[in-house]
Amino acid sequence: MKAMLLEEYGPEHRFAEHDIEKPVPGPGQVLIRVAGSSFNPIDNKIATLGNLLSFAPPLPALLGMDVAGEVVETGGRSRFRVGDQVMGCAGGLDDLPGALAEYMVADERLLAPTPACMAPADAACLPLVSITAWLGLFDKASVSRGQTLLVHGGAGGVGHMAVQLGVHAGAEVYATVSTEEKGAVVEALGGIPIYYRETKVEEYVDGFTGGRGFDVVFDTVGGTVLDQSFAAARIGGQVVSTATRSSHDLSLLHARGLSLHVVFMLLPMLTGEGRELHGEILANVSGLVDEDGLAVFVDDRRFDFTDVGEAYRYWEQGKASGKISLVPEEWNTIANTSD
């Protein structure tokens, strides 16, 4: 089968097309004919930093964590049938081959049916960001009706999922953004934008909570934004972060009696433990999408698998508005012609 393999780690993003052996599913696995994948910042981190990360796959590396497509073979008894349309975040790191190929083998516990209302290629933009947001809001913080929720980076991949899930849970949702365009995204999703470049933390805490602070703060940015999250949370409140690989003064965390929750959604993929939860979350996400309760914001520009390196550079240049969709259009055209 054809696959796009990363030939060396570093900022150049040297991907090349290779012919590799088509995988065979083992027990508990299914073989997916890939209809699409999507870019996530963690993909770029792996491609750039490589062996500095313990979970980077060996070179040449088959990346692409998110996948959607059709089940074409099962490794024995399975809850999926041949012909089912599925999605998941199921590879592209450690010893798990990714989705940038014609076919991908995946642990069926990490998969769920794609939303009936979505094209498979678009559904491939859902898994990582929706699972991360769901884990942060519900598995960690138990966000509920009537609470105030602040999402840092509300128009980003995980952020715009968190805004919608918070609204769905009945919370009063606020989100920091950098531009009016991103503010319009947050408003369209049911949240209230906060323009952090124009407003200090204490100002929006006073303006939106009367100085009390937010019940839950979801940090999708890290660094100094995590410190700002401590300052924005109410006494006894909860802070959830997806980016905590840095040093911080925890004095304010202690003084306010805050709870800090860390979301590292790749853990089940790396350890093999708890993979069923990801499949269950995605099944709930799929249902919400079909009920028109959740949507994924996809950038207007879509990239063929053969142009994956260009997609990485497009993201690095800050040009993307929404998730970057990756589709194996060229290979599909060749396959259809040969048929």
- For 177-202, what is each residue's pLDDT tens digit? 999 999 999 999 999 999 999 999 99
Are 327 and 303 in contact by the 8 Å Cβ rule? The answer is yes
Can you give the pLDDT at residue 339?
Answer: 44
DSSP states along 211-238: TS-EEEEEESS-THHHHHHHHHEEEEEE
The reported pLDDT for the residue numbered 337 is 43
Q: For 121-144, what is the HEC assignment?
A: HHHCCCHHHHHHHHHHHHHHCCCC
Nearest 5°: CA angle at 303, between 302 and 309? 140
Domain that holds residue 292: 2-125+273-338
Largest CA distance in the chain: 67
Low-confidence ranges of the chain (pLDDT < 70): 333-339
Name the nearest CA neighbour of 137 among 163, 175, 110.
Answer: 163
Boundary-marking domain end, from 220, 238, 262 = 262
Both 106 and 137 in a single domain?
Answer: no
Please tell me whether residues 38 and 145 are part of one structural domain.
Answer: no
Residue-level pLDDT at 51? 84
Average pLDDT, the chain: 95
Tens digit of each residue's pLDDT (9 = 90 or more) over 317-330: 988 888 999 999 88
Domain final residue, candidates 228, 262, 296:
262
Same-domain check for residues 94 and 138: no
What's the first-to-final CA gap in the chain, in angstroms? 15
Same domain (yes/no): 225, 279 = no
Residues 216 and 303 in one domain: no
Report d(CA 104, CA 89) in Å as an integer.
Answer: 12
Q: Could you give the percent of the chain with pLDDT greater than 70?
A: 98
Contact 225, 204 (CB under 8 A): no
Write the CATH number for 133: 3.40.50.720
For position 74, what pLDDT does the model report? 97
User: Which of 79, 9, 12 minimizes the C-alpha distance to 316?
Assistant: 12
Q: Of 229, 262, 295, which residue is a domain's last?
A: 262
Q: Which CATH number do you get for residue 302?
A: 3.90.180.10
Q: State the sign of the Cα–Cα–Cα–Cα dihedral 249, 43, 87, 126.
A: positive
267 lies in some domain? no
Between the CA of residue 191 and those of 59, 117, 155, 168, 338, what are the distances in Å?
42, 24, 10, 11, 49
Q: Cβ neighbours of residue 272 under 8 Å, at least 6 residues apart?
A: none
What does the DSSP assignment read for 23-52?
Answer: P---TTEEEEEEEEEEE-HHHHHHHHHGGG
- pLDDT at residue 333, as a whole number: 62
